[in-house]
Amino acid sequence: MKEMLQKLREEFGVAIAQVQDAAELDSLRVKYLGKKGELTAILKQMGKLSAEERPVIGQLANQVRSEMEERITACSTTIAEKELELRLKRETLDVTVPGKTPVIGHRHPINSTIDEIKEIFIGMGFQVIDGPEIELASYNFDRLNAEEGHPSRDWSDTFYFDEDSRVMLRSQTSPMQVRAMESMDLPIRIVAPGRVYRKDEVDATHSPMFHQIEGMVIDKGITMADLKGTLNEVMKQLYGQDTVTRFRPHHFPFTEPSCEMDVQCHKCGGVGCPTCKGEGWIELLGAGMIHPKVLEMSGIDSEVYTGWAFGMGVERLAMRKFKIPDLRLIFENDVRFLEQF
């Protein structure tokens, strides 16, 4: 029996040296010291021993047991320390690692262009107003002196909601003139930016949806000189103090006289270059003195009051400002494109 105990002690020594974790240590403990363990099995045979042998073997067995217990306790402490160390390493927070910057969006080039123009007009005492994109045809056309039969009312170039062509997607921001005349007290100074819709095929310079900014002034004694003076000042603030403009005669049903305004190309100074497509001038807006019939239809006495109005396309301004070669890029909403502005 003595040899059996010695052998067990040796075996245990080898086994415990290989233990890696708490689970392994526990099964080792059960294997050697458990109720059905190997040491217990040997001790069960003590009864067969002689009276002289029993205390000697008993002492040895106790010694082996306490040795095993001690080593198990020591091993368990080592494992716990090792595991704690590992856990601390795993859970370390490195405060020196750079943080992740959250991605924040920014204004779309169309909105920033509108905002810039709004700011200029606000600085000149204008009020910014907003109105519906789904508009009555009577506001979009009739009250602007474009009655039934006018070419711009054709099914082929405008979006209607109903068979009798009474409700439509506005084709211009000009109905905001009528809305302002109807709802505001005189004198009126407004700009009205917003989306407009036309049945245009999509290409590098056309889109069925685009943006305009409408402007209007109505007061006593307003003349074409006020229109030119105001727009010239706006263009100087937009393109620089030495900006040159020109006004060409044109026709719009709701203004008389009507004109279009060009700015001399700020790139080439009027010589002709890719920016102005070789023309030296860039067409910016339509404008004119509000037709007396338009004033009268909204209940304004055209003998007492006069006014001017303009409408400009925002996409063209933005394309020039940000050097965008193709209108489609503006609406595709590819962040790689939009992030550049």
- Which of 174, 207, 230, 306 is the binder for ligand DAH (CB under 6 A)? 174
Tell me the β-bridge partners of 262. Answer: 246, 283
CB of 313 to ligand DAH, least distance (A): 8
User: Of 16-24, 32-40, 262-270, 282-290, which segment contacts ligand DAH by CB under 6 A?
Assistant: 282-290
C-alpha to C-alpha distance for 146 and 138, rounded to whole angstroms: 9
CB proximity list for 6: less than 8 A, separation 6 or greater: none
Q: At CA 130, angle to CA 286 and CA 221, rounded to 5?
A: 55
CB of 261 to ligand DAH, least distance (A): 10
Between 109 and 288, name the residue whose CB sits nearer to ligand DAH: 288
Q: Which of 315, 317, 248 is nearest to 288 (CA)?
A: 248
CB of 288 to ligand DAH, least distance (A): 5
Instruction: Report CA Rg, the chain.
Output: 45
CB of 130 to ligand DAH, least distance (A): 16
Site membership for ligand DAH, residue 175 (CB under 6 A)? no
User: Of 84-92, 93-101, 120-128, 308-316, which segment contacts ligand DAH by CB under 6 A?
Assistant: 308-316
C-alpha to C-alpha distance for 157 and 136, rounded to whole angstroms: 16
CB of 332 to ligand DAH, least distance (A): 24
Cβ pair 186, 219 in contact under 8 A: yes
C-alpha to C-alpha distance for 157 and 258, rounded to whole angstroms: 22
- Which of 153, 180, 197, 214 is the binder for ligand DAH (CB under 6 A)? 214
Structure token digits, residue 4: 């059996």
3-state secondary structure of 5: helix
Which amino acid, residue 250? H
User: Of 26-34, 73-81, 115-123, 307-315, which segment contacts ligand DAH by CB under 6 A?
Assistant: 307-315
List the x/- string, 51-90, binding to ligand DAH by CB under 6 A: ----------------------------------------
Site membership for ligand DAH, residue 113 (CB under 6 A)? no
Between 257 and 272, name the residue whose CB sits nearer to ligand DAH: 257
C-alpha to C-alpha distance for 196 and 193, rounded to whole angstroms: 10
Tell me the β-bridge partners of 245. Answer: 263
- Which of 12, 32, 281, 310 is the binder for ligand DAH (CB under 6 A)? 310
Site membership for ligand DAH, residue 315 (CB under 6 A)? no
CB proximity list for 82: less than 8 A, separation 6 or greater: none
CB of 104 to ligand DAH, least distance (A): 35
Site membership for ligand DAH, residue 309 (CB under 6 A)? yes
CB of 290 to ligand DAH, least distance (A): 7
User: Of 13-21, 39-47, 203-211, 303-311, which segment contacts ligand DAH by CB under 6 A?
Assistant: 303-311
Site membership for ligand DAH, residue 311 (CB under 6 A)? yes
3-state secondary structure of 119: helix
User: What region, left, alpha or beta, does residue 67 occupy, with left being phi > 0 and alpha being psi -120 to 50 degrees?
Assistant: alpha
CB proximity list for 243: less than 8 A, separation 6 or greater: 232, 235, 236, 263, 264, 266
- Which of 158, 172, 230, 264 is the binder for ligand DAH (CB under 6 A)? 172
- Which of 239, 252, 281, 305 is the binder for ligand DAH (CB under 6 A)? 252
Cis before 257? omega within 30: yes
Interface with ligand DAH (CB under 6 A), residue total 11
3-state secondary structure of 12: helix
Residues that bind ligand DAH (CB under 6 A): 172, 174, 214, 252, 255, 286-288, 309-311
